[in-house]
A = this chain, B = another copy of it.
């Protein structure tokens, strides 16, 4: 049983921090899109919990943990209320939000991969669900806000790549039977660090080859 990597209350605390920060990003986008309090709360919930809900549906773990754990469900509402009253202040500490978001990315790509494996999925599928857990909520957020999904845009710092690296490390650790609290934390830290470096140095993923051959295809 690999799912109990951390003491339950430690795991829960880290989860809630990640959920809170993901929810902030959803709520802030709702404010930028001029939505009302309903939109702020719905986008906060969808961003924070959407990835984990899709993972749980795909592995057959119903109801998803987001609907059976009250803290998971209420935390995004709290973030929504914070954004509702304090959005200029939250926007101003954007760098801190991005750092915490990277922390959530690192954490969720690890726990998502572990949970998928616990439900019997293979290594590659588990990595995919690790990525889905970490990045799926953001895609739902962008679709609901009618924005091109940030995850897929060439002009944004890489987000999926750090998650895939972290998830792949976990899959390898499971395969060689070396997944412990320490090694799992290391994988999460590596994913976190890659994302922070990407933000710091503007790392982007390449677009299709030959694109630049035709000048008119540039945007």
Contact = CB atoms under 8 A, between A and B. Distances in A.
Contacts of A119: 63
A interface majority secondary structure? helix
Copies of this chain in its oligomeric complex: 3
A19 to B, nearest CB: 15
A185 to B, nearest CB: 25
A36 B85 contact: no
The size bracket of the interface on A is 35 or more
Nearest to A88: B210
Contacts of A202: none
Interface in A105-150: 119-122, 124-125, 128-129, 139, 143-146, 148-149
Interface stretch (A27-35, A96-104, A166-174, A176-184): A27-35
Contact of A143 (B33, B35, B63, B143): B143
Interface string A198-219: 0000001111111100000001
Contacts of A143: 143-144
